[in-house]
Structure 1
Amino acid sequence: MSEITNMMTQTFESDFQDNNKQTALQRAVVKNGILASAENMHAKTTNVPVFSIDVKTGKVSNQKQSGRCWMFAALNTFRHKMLNQFDLKEFELSQNYVFFWDKYEKANYFYENILATADQELSSRKVAFLLQVPQQDGGQWDMIVSIFQKYGVVPKTAMPESKNSSSSRELNNYLNKKLRKDAVRLRHLVETGKTSEEIQEAKTKMLQEVYNFLAISLGTPPKTFDFEYRDEKQEYHIDRELTPQRFYDKYVGVDLDNYVSIINAPTADKPYNQSYTVEMLGNVVGGKEVKYLNVDMETFKKLAVAQLEQGETVWFGCDVGQSSTRDTGIMSLDAYDVNDLFDIDFTMTKAERLDHGESLMTHAMVLTGVDIVDGHSTKWKVENSWGEKVGDKGFFVASDEWMDEYTYQIVVRKDLLTDEQRTAFEAEPVVLQPWDPMGALA
């Protein structure tokens, strides 16, 4: 191995000090920071928030200090439909309600995976993967579908936000402590030859404790509730004694089995027009399998445009922190000129970033509009869930080139797919490793 010598470092220092441009940049960056010094105003002038296709939505929601973007994005797609159908001015579905059931189900999913790997050493990569983060706030589209299909949804008035849903760090910290401790016991029960009945009895007691922990922290999910509201004409409506499932069927009414996840992962190990799933990725045991169809980016964007053209918004997953300005809400490859600032080329291809840990899906939002020029998309309107103080009252703009590089997943209706694409999606999926970047949770 070759070490760094003092002479080498002295040479580097001399070269730096002799370069007036670099010392001038040093003064600016030390005082203002990297991104503030590299921000490019041109990105804002070329991504004006005006779109030829713009689906009507209400105000943006706010996930606050939690990682529930995937839930907010899914619930927002339902909210858009309800606002228009029932002539509502403002309305939200309860994020806390689905948060409760997701945590509950993730605990059981973790226990079952611990039992399934109990014959492996703690040093096994799969066991280490499970124990590193037993559960977290993030998730995938098919995981939230499993929650909706099993537990339904409720209005936010039926189960409002709690301190621990809006700021989930403490809840996650102590829930993961419990799950890791329970993993010790479950593995010991298997190691000492306990019967499956004895193991399941122990697991049931653990789940009771999980339920108690969540109920104390988040509140008790309602079994029935009344739904009352005034529409835009100020007419009063009330529907009494609804269950969460009946409310979903009557007021949301979206057949979730008609929607599929489309990804763009241009890596050598994932040929296009092939379906994929990820081992040990899920939340509801017996729920919907996480499944994707991988397509090229041109096809990917055409499917998103087709759904927007029909007046329906699109759930999507991306790497939101790449080349994006939080305050002005611009997601563009030229948002920052960091290459010029440091005279270093940071550029990698999308496949290289995925393969080498530089990028993956970190956040889910909703596409609510797109600008079409000469038949091609040029920029996209994005509904975020960070409140109204960022972007344009909470809405962001993504350039088409940014979408190409940093968007990984959309959810669209099956009827928008070709027969060939539907056949490919329905085929037996290739199973990816648990740590594959396509298993990232938004």
Structure 2
Amino acid sequence: MELPGQPRRQVRRRAEGGDGRDLQLRQHPPDGRPAADRTARHRLEDPGGRARGCRRGDHRADHRGRHLGLPPERFVWQYRDSSGTDKEFHREGEFTPLEFRDRVLSDEFTGGLENYVCLVDDPREENPYGAATSVAEGTNMWGTADTSYINVGVSELKRIAKASIDAGEPVWFACDVNRQFAAALGIWNADLYERDALYGTTTVSGPGTSKADQMRTRESMPTHGMVLTGYDNEAGTWRVENSWGTKSHGEHAKLAGAGSMKGYGTMKDAWFDDNVFQIAVHRRLLGDDFPGLDALDRGETTVLPIWDAMA
């Protein structure tokens, strides 16, 4: 049913390169204007003033710009220092995004971002350990290379993550965050909820329930990134820094005492096995003869589709 004065909406499938995966939503108001006139207003402009169309990849930025607005070209960076008692206020000045990146992510602090390597645990037999792999169109930043990594297995992930922490460098990691997770307590534990005992099912130890099987069906996949900041071999736990703060992990401070864990979480080692997929570490921890590193550097990777569980 079409109400007077309201535009008709039509979804049209556009096949680019024969893949047929792009969808385009167009409005057809009853004003008789050509489609080119109506859509030109919604195109993004790059710094050089050239209009971006909706070609493969561009259409994603175009749609975000329509709904969220264009990113700011400059911004003021100011903050209050949370350390100490005076809570000193800092105003660093005005920056472009690239100037901010160069200031905060300088080689002095990071050792050079190009020197960091992603390692994963993908136990599916079709993706062998030691192989360099990438994900087609698997990037979150315009104009950057696809995500690439080396498949090393969960034992190597743990060993290298601990070596990085021992060297004073926290470790970014990706996991399936909401599985067996008590947010208010800040605890990730593979045995936290005994759902199989409650429902009489075999989702944990039955057929088709391995980490590899659950990746194939997309029952489990990386959903969130956090940081490993410590570990306890005797207790079999990891200290996790998350971006959710005390709203999600506030009660954990009461469990830890002295506020030392306020805003942090605790991950059990068995949960790491089942739900951690990826870490990022400095390549000096790997050595030049690390399996798969040469192939990764040369860009000789096995390419997975964007809909893969590792995307």
TM-score calculated relative to the size of structure 1: 0.50
Partner of 1:407: 276
Alignment size in residue pairs: 251
Alignment map for 1:65-144 (pairs within 5 Å):
118-120=16-18, 122=20, 127=21, 130-131=22-23
Report SS of the residue matched to 2:129.
coil
1:356 aligns with 2:217: yes
Letter in 1 for 2:270: E
Match of 1:30 in 2: none
Alignment of 1:333-372 (within 5 A): 333-347=190-204, 348-372=209-233
Q: Is the CA contact (8 Å cut-off) linking 1:227 and 1:242 kept in structure 2?
A: no
Checking the alignment, whether the CA contact within 8 Å between 2:115 and 2:282 is kept in structure 1 is yes
In the alignment, the residues of structure 2 paired with residue 282 and residue 214 of structure 1 have an alpha-carbon distance, to the nearest angstrom, of 20
1:420 and 2:289 matched: yes
Q: 1:242 to 1:322 in 2, by over 3 A?
A: closer
Q: Secondary structure at the match of 1:322?
A: coil
Question: Is 1:332 paired with 2:186?
Answer: no
1:214 maps to 2:86:
no
Question: Which of 431, 439, 442 is 2:303 aligned to?
Answer: 431
Give the match for residue 274 of structure 1: 131
Residue 379 of structure 1 corresponds to 237
Asked whether 1:225 is paired with 2:76, we answer: yes
Q: Output the amino acid matched with 1:366.
A: V
| Letter paired with 1:320 | V
Aligned-partner Cα distance in 1 for 2:129–2:186: 31
> Would you tell me which structure has more strand in proportion to its own residues?
2
- CA deviation string 1:303-355 (max 9, x = no partner): 11111112221111111121221221211111011222233222221111112
Name the CA shift for 1:202/1:328 in 2 (closer, same or farther; >3 Å).
Answer: closer
Report the counterpart of residue 156 of structure 2 in structure 1.
299
Are the structure 2 counterparts of residues 280 and 226 from structure 1 closer, same or farther at C-alpha, using a change threshold of 3 Å?
A: closer
Q: 2:120 aligns with which of 263, 269, 283?
A: 263
**Does structure 1 conserve the Cα–Cα contact (< 8 Å) formed by 2:131 and 2:151?**
yes
TM-score (norm 2): 0.69
Match runs of 1:121-270 below 5 Å: 122=20, 127=21, 130-131=22-23, 180-181=25-26, 202-203=53-54, 211=65, 213-215=67-69, 221-223=72-74, 225=76, 227=78, 232=84, 238-253=91-106, 254=110, 255-270=112-127
- Rounded Cα–Cα distance in structure 1 between residues aligned with 2:212 and 2:306: 19
Q: Counterparts of 1:119 and 1:271 in 2: how far apart (Å)?
A: 31
Q: 1:214 is aligned with what amino acid?
A: L
Cα deviation for residue 233 of structure 1 reads: 7.8
Higher RCO (CA 8 Å, separation ≥ 6 residues): 1
Asked if 1:308 is matched to 2:165, the reply is yes
2:245, 2:264 within 8 Å by CA — same for their partners in 1? no
- SS class of match (1:438): coil
Give the counterpart letter for 2:231 in structure 1. Answer: V
Say which structure is richer in helix.
1
CA contact (8 A) 2:76 2:94 kept: yes
Distance 1:213 1:272, change over 3 A: same
Deviations 1:30-80 (A, max 9, x none): xxxxxxxxxxxxxxxxxxxxxxxxxxxxxxxxxxxxxxxxxxxxxxxxxxx
Deviations 1:210-269 (A, max 9, x none): 546433xxx852425365766748577654444433333334423211111111001011
Q: Which amino acid aligns with 1:432?
A: L
Name the CA distance, whole Å, in 2 between partners of 1:121 and 1:214: 28
Distance in 1 (alpha carbons) for counterparts of 2:281 and 2:102? 20
Q: Would the aligned equivalents of 1:265 and 1:408 in 2 still touch at CA under 8 Å?
A: yes
| Alpha-carbon distance between aligned partners in 1 of 2:306 and 2:52, rounded to the nearest angstrom | 28
**1:396 counterpart SS class:** strand
- Which blocks of at least 5 consecutive residues in structure 1 are unaligned? 1-113, 132-178, 187-199
- Aligned residues: CA RMSD: 3.2
